[in-house]
Structure 1
Amino acid sequence: MNASMALPALRRAAMTVSMLGVATVVGALMVFLTQTLLARKMGPDAYGLFASSLATVTMIAPLAGFGLTQFRLKAYGVEGWAADRWLVPSLRFTLATTVLAIGIVVAWALLAAPRDGTRFSLLVLTPVILSVLTVNLASNKFRLEDRFARMALNQLAIPGSRLLVAIGLLLVPQLGWRFVAIAYGSISLLMALSAVPQIRAMFRGEIALKGHGPRPEAIEHGVRPGMGDVWSQAWAYGVYAALYPVFFQISTILLKYFQSDAHAGRYAIALAVMTAIYLIPATIYQKFLQGKLHRWAAHDKPKFRFAYRKGNAGMFVLGLLVSAAMLALSPWLVPLAFGERYSGVVAILMVLAICPPVRFLSTAMGAALMTGDHMRLRVHAMTMATVVAVIGNVLLIPLFSEMGAAWATVVAEAALLFGTWRGVRKLHPELTHGP
């Protein structure tokens, strides 16, 4: 690519990333405001019960679709228009895994959940599974079409709607946590229904695919795959997606069962802050670069190597800046936003401030393991980190409560970075050595 062609391409990329960045900031503010209002009005106990129930459902939600959205980006990035051959078995795979995910949540609610309101919360929050699935599928289609503005609006709908629920609770405090749980479930159902037209078009092959030229009149589809073939291709993405909520949210759930709802509520606030922060690397790599990285890894190795190296350096520096901001702002911002009942969150965030540069770098590195047939190495890294997170929380929460959970999270993030680096070094030595 010569300079005259590269400059407009870089300008378009910068504009797209900037637009997605603005959408990310807006979404993060919505999430932060929602958590602030809910935490202040519900109190640590009620908020902890609700937050731990939502974390449980969110932890199961990735089983629906089980890696299909990520695999589709790979399939279209490598095969182009010929990837339409995966549409029919993908639909069957989606239906089967969605029924499984919903069944697990309902069974847990009816057979194992405490009867302190947790059962009710789990059941009414079950539609969250459908909203996570459908929003991801629709966003998947928009990414393949390079319709990033539409994708950003699609993913702002849920945090925007949840903010309205929190405002409703502010105006009518008597509504309580049951109203919030029912409202969240209702929003999820509406979001799932609103995404149906896009998902129907996607499974019919009505995709304006970008980066592979116009649709040919005759497409050579090759071998027609079945559900077993979808499983063999998608399982690694699915396992990673299923492990991540356990890795990230197990602390909140274990604090509920080992300590109390109040402990879980305080830690949930800290995780809400971290969730908003982690939207930054997710926006850059999962929403903007992922489909392109699949294409570059298959067809443009120099560009892939350039993106990897520059991305690592840039994301690490950005993570350091975010950590510095957390250390400076948390001591006065948390009490101001959430009230004195949540003052303990400050100490948690002081520990978790170690995590942003680690997470930002592991996200950038991990993008190299989502290309080709290398996803299994990323699964190995996440499996190791999840085991570290679970063991760390089980050992440290009974001794140090929320602070034990925070340090377990730091160690788990470091384990994820180490496993990701090891995987990249093994499968992409050209990225970790040489000029």
Structure 2
Amino acid sequence: MSSPPRTSKPPPLTAAIQICLLWGGSLTGAGLAFLTQVVLGRHMGPGDYGIFSNALAQCMLLSQVAGLGIQTFWLSVYGREGRQGARWIPGCLKLLAVSSTLAVLTLLLTAALGPGSHRTAETLVLMAPSILGFAAVELVATKLQLEERFASVAAWQMLHHGLRFALILPIVMTATGDILLETSAAYSLAAVIIVAVAIQQLRRMQRKDFEPLGHHYDRALKDTGEAPSMLRTLAHVWPYGADTLLYLAYFQCSNILLLYLAGDRDAGIYFAAFTIMNAAYLLPTTLYTKFLLSKFHRWAHHDQAKLLSALKTGGTSMLAAGTACGLAIWLASDLIINILYGSGFQDAKPVLATLAICAPIRFVSTSIGAILTTGSQMRMRVIIKSLCAALCVALNMLLIPEHGAIGAAIATLGTEVGLLLLFSITIYFRRTAIFRSARTEHAH
């Protein structure tokens, strides 16, 4: 008797367990990351913490240049082509080599020629390998997501955060050297270890030694046996890279501009509040990017009724969850700052209260915005993100010089409102195209 074929459609209980595993891993990983930032903030003080947060923001931004959005492209191409999506892997890996080199060189040039202090330049140079570490984390998580190994995704999330925390803890406990520079070196050491693990996983993808569940053979796609060239791959990948880069551009914009427009202290104050909100955004981020996104890409081509249902139910549930989360942070902002960061960060209280208003907006925009990654909607999503990135830079340039960290928080709130409005308007007016474009694209 032959064994039944494997399926990617888990029963409700199994799906619930998978989501719990992801949230559990994400909560543990985010808790370690959050604890790391709190410990660093308390030991560094607002000035050095501002320099560190600026360097971290630049590394995270450039990690999207290194990764080029390839992780999201993989979800899309496997959702469309099934297992034959493996033909794109060689071209993607060549692109990764080029883009990673470019990203690291960009940070080194910023350190050498940028307007920051000598201490800022040293920190940037020491943290350069972190760019590759951030990119590697996302790529391996996507590979595991395609395999629907959600327990492994959770473990991977815990591993890289736990590794950084383990390396940094002795530095702050002994406090015998320069905490800022030693911490920067520790982040890079963790990145080197993560990249070494990631290389082995990516080699398995290159050898087609992995099993993407639920991605069946596409008989309509002629299998020539030839992998697309690097340039052809770039032509397909760039919208995904632009999307993730623009997201981080406005997400990290305030962190970066504050250091140069208002000084180290304001940058540290803002980053303290930003770290708390980033932890709050874990719920929608984990649900949509780690669990549902790969399914969205499959549903866009094979089950659009589910995609429409996800759009309707997701927005409502995320609005309720985001409102509850934001209200709790807003009411407890004074207490949260006092407990976590202490007296040196009192100016972070109004910043956190302002950013708390963003919670329901971000929850809903994460939900409905995920629909615009499917089918042929990515270019429209990139246009929206470009407008929001420009809006964020303009608001920060206008508000930071006079209002400092609180001005950056207001700029962030304005950008979040703009993003949600543009997502909502686009989905409303393009609703017919969104739920037909995937079939049309598939036919071609």
Q: Would you call these one fold, judging by a TM-score over 0.5?
A: yes
Report the alpha carbon displacement of residue 122 of structure 1 after superposing the two structures with TM. 0.8
> Is 1:314 equivalent to 2:317 in the alignment?
yes
* Alpha-carbon distance in 1 for matches of 2:266, 2:171: 22
* Alignment-derived partner of residue 117 in structure 1: 119
Cα distance, 1:92–1:102 mapped onto 2, change above 3 Å: same
* Alignment-derived partner of residue 81 in structure 2: 79
* Alpha-carbon distance in 2 for matches of 1:35, 1:184: 12
* Alpha-carbon distance in 2 for matches of 1:174, 1:397: 35
One-letter amino acid of the counterpart of residue 330, structure 2: L
Report the alpha carbon displacement of residue 223 of structure 1 after superposing the two structures with TM. 6.7
Partners of 2:61 and 2:245 within 8 A in 1 = yes
> Is 1:280 equivalent to 2:283 in the alignment?
yes
* Alignment-derived partner of residue 372 in structure 2: 369
Report the alpha carbon displacement of residue 404 of structure 1 after superposing the two structures with TM. 0.7
Partners of 1:57 and 1:129 within 8 A in 2 = yes
Report the alpha carbon displacement of residue 169 of structure 1 after superposing the two structures with TM. 3.0
Q: Which one of 225, 228, 232 corresponds to residue 225 of structure 1? A: 228
> Is 1:352 equivalent to 2:355 in the alignment?
yes
One-letter amino acid of the counterpart of residue 206, structure 1: D
Report the alpha carbon displacement of residue 166 of structure 1 after superposing the two structures with TM. 3.8
Q: Which one of 200, 207, 220 corresponds to residue 197 of structure 1? A: 200
Counterparts of 1:2-401 in structure 2, within 5 Å, are 9-175=11-177, 176-213=179-216, 220-221=223-224, 224-401=227-404
One-letter amino acid of the counterpart of residue 320, structure 1: T
Partners of 1:425 and 1:431 within 8 A in 2 = no
One-letter amino acid of the counterpart of residue 156, structure 1: M
Partners of 1:37 and 1:166 within 8 A in 2 = no
TM-score where L is the length of structure 2? 0.92
Report the alpha carbon displacement of residue 70 of structure 1 after superposing the two structures with TM. 0.6
* Alpha-carbon distance in 2 for matches of 1:87, 1:31: 31
Gaps of 5+ in 2: 1-6, 436-444
One-letter amino acid of the counterpart of residue 82, structure 1: Q
Gaps of 5+ in 1: none
Report the alpha carbon displacement of residue 219 of structure 1 after superposing the two structures with TM. 8.4
Report the alpha carbon displacement of residue 171 of structure 1 after superposing the two structures with TM. 1.4
* Alpha-carbon distance in 2 for matches of 1:385, 1:76: 29
* Alignment-derived partner of residue 440 in structure 2: none
Partners of 1:23 and 1:156 within 8 A in 2 = yes
Q: Counterpart of 1:117 in 2: which secondary structure?
A: helix
More divergent stretch after superposition (263-272 vs 204-213): 204-213
* Alpha-carbon distance in 2 for matches of 1:426, 1:237: 22
* Alpha-carbon distance in 2 for matches of 1:249, 1:170: 25
* Alpha-carbon distance in 1 for matches of 2:8, 2:185: 50
Report the alpha carbon displacement of residue 235 of structure 1 after superposing the two structures with TM. 0.9
* Alpha-carbon distance in 2 for matches of 1:296, 1:362: 20
Report the alpha carbon displacement of residue 72 of structure 1 after superposing the two structures with TM. 0.8
More divergent stretch after superposition (167-176 vs 315-324): 167-176
TM-score where L is the length of structure 1? 0.93
More divergent stretch after superposition (111-120 vs 370-379): 111-120
What whole-Å deviation, never above 9, does each CA across 1:82-113 have from its counterpart, x for those lacking one?
11221221121111111111111111112225
Partners of 2:243 and 2:381 within 8 A in 1 = yes
Query: How many aligned positions are there?
Result: 427
* Alignment-derived partner of residue 4 in structure 2: none
What whole-Å deviation, never above 9, does each CA across 1:319-338 have from its counterpart, x for those lacking one?
01101110232211211111
- Taking only aligned residues, the RMSD between alpha carbons, in angstroms, comes to 2.2
* Alpha-carbon distance in 1 for matches of 2:216, 2:260: 54
Cα distance, 1:243–1:6 mapped onto 2, change above 3 Å: closer
Partners of 2:59 and 2:130 within 8 A in 1 = yes
